[in-house]
Amino acid sequence: MKVVICGAGIAGLTLGWWLGRDSCDVVIIEKATGVLDEGYRIDFMSSGWDVAECMGLITSLRQIAARG
């Protein structure tokens, strides 16, 4: 299945990851040309950690945080 997701925010990127994992052909479209100075910041409280854990990202996130 081909899927187009409009918006590369946290929801669009997460949805793209899950759909890609399930063998969908995913294209994410974003109008911004780079990282924005304003907008939603990723907050890893409760459900954020739960989703990151389901995605297998906790180890990578901890390694990135340790560098920062």
Q: What 8-state DSSP symbol labels residue 40? A: P
pLDDT digits (tens, 9 = 90+) for 38-60: 766 666 677 888 999 999 999 99
**Can you point out the beta strands (E) in the chain?**
2-6, 25-29
pLDDT above 70 as % of the chain: 90
Contacts of 4 (CB under 8 A, 6+ apart): 26, 27, 28, 29
Q: Which of 2, 25, 28 is nearest to 14 (CA)?
A: 28
CA dist 56 and 52 (Å) reads: 6
Give the residue with greater pLDDT, 44 vs 34: 34
Tokens of residue 5, six digits:
């997701």
